[in-house]
Amino acid sequence: MAHVTILVDNNSLIDRYFRSEPALSLWVQGRKAPVLLDTGYSDAFLQNALKLGLDPVSLSHVVLSHGHFDHTWGLADLVRHYTERAIEQKESARPRIVAHPLCLENKIIGSIGSVGAMFDRGTLERFFPVTLTEEPLWLAEDLVFLGEIPARYGFEMPARYNVRESAGGPVPDTLTDDSGLALLTGEGLVVVTGCAHRGICSTIQRAIDVTGQKRVRTVIGGFHLLEASDKRLEETGRFMKERNIPEIYPCHCVDGDARRALARWVPVRDTGSGQQILL
C-alpha cells in the first residue's frame, strides 16, 4: 500500500520514541521503490528510518526539495551509511539525487552565514549519481518530481531569504529551487512538500498541472506558513476547500495560528516523527 512516513518533523508522537528536530524528511512509498524527500538536519532521519525497518539501501531516489540546511545536511550521514556498507562488503545500489539546479548553490542569511547544502554538485557526484533539472521528472509511473514551481498567487509571494551565491555573484534568493513531489493513488493526488517556499497553493496547482489529476487526496509536508497574514491564511484555506481536499498534514514550518486558521476550511491532522500515513 502507498504511504508517506514522516522520518523527521519538528515534533514526535506521544508514546513513540523517535527523534525530532526543526527539520523535515519524508519517506514516500508508491508502487515502485521508495523515494526519500529531504534528509533533515542531522542523522535523526536515518536513525528513525532504521528503527522503523526502512533501510535507505532500498531507495531509488533522494529528492532535495530545496537547498536549506534543515533539509539537506543529513546527506553527510547518508554518505556515511553507504560508505560503511561498502566497507563491510554489503551490496547496495546508491540512489540518484534529484533537485533543482539552484539547490546546491550556497545560501547566506545575514550574520549566520551559509545555510545552504554542504555539498556542491561535484562533491556530491563523488558519492551518488545526480540529476539537476528545472523540468518535471517522473521517478516512477506514479511519482513525479515537480521541477521549478511558478509563483501563481499574489497572496502567497515567494519567501525571500537574503542572498544566494551565483556564478555572477550574490543575488536575492527567492528560493526558485523549491520543489516537491506528486504521488498518484487510487484516491487521488498526494502532494508532498519540503517547505513550499514558492507557496503551498502554487505547489498544489503545479502538481495538478503536471499530472493532469484534478482530484487531490491530501497534502503532506511543510507549507511555510509562519506568522502568515490573516489574508494569506484565509485565501489558502479557501483554495484548499474549493479543490475539495479531504484532509491535510502540515509539518515543520507551520505555526499554531496557521493550523487553527486552516482547520476552519479543511480537516488538519497531527504529524510527528515516526508517523506513517496510509494512502
Averaged pLDDT score across all residues of the chain: 95
Please state the CATH superfamily assignment of the domain spanning residues 3-278 in this structure: Ribonuclease Z/Hydroxyacylglutathione hydrolase-like (3.60.15.10)
Across 90-99, 107-116, 238-247, least confident range: 107-116
Picking from 41, 58, 63, the residue whose alpha carbon sits closest to that of residue 132 is 63
3-state secondary structure the chain: CCEEEEEECCCECCCCCCCCCCCCEEEEECCCCCEEECCCCCCHHHHHHHHCCCCHHHCCEEECCCCCHHHHCCHHHHHHHHHHHHHCCCCCCCCEEEECCCCCCCEEEHHHEECCCCCCHHHHCCCCCEEECCCCEEEECCEEECCCCCCCCHHHCCCCCCEEEECCEEEECCCCCCCEEEEEECCEEEEEECCCCCCHHHHHHHHHHHHCCCCEEEEEEECCECCCCHHHHHHHHHHHHHCCCCEEEEECCECHHHHHHHCCCCCECCCCECCEEEC
Q: Which residue has the higher pLDDT, 144 or 168?
A: 144
Q: What is the pLDDT of residue 160?
A: 66
**pLDDT tens digit string along 252-263?**
999 999 999 999
Is residue 130 pLDDT above 90, yes or no? Answer: yes
> CA triplet 104, 272, 22: central angle to 5 degrees?
40
- Position 247 scores a pLDDT of 98
Model confidence at 238, pLDDT cuts 50, 70, 90, reads very high
Q: Where are the domains of the chain?
A: 3-278
Q: Mean pLDDT, to the nearest integer, of 143-163?
A: 87
Alpha-carbon dihedral sign for residues 76, 77, 82, 86:
positive
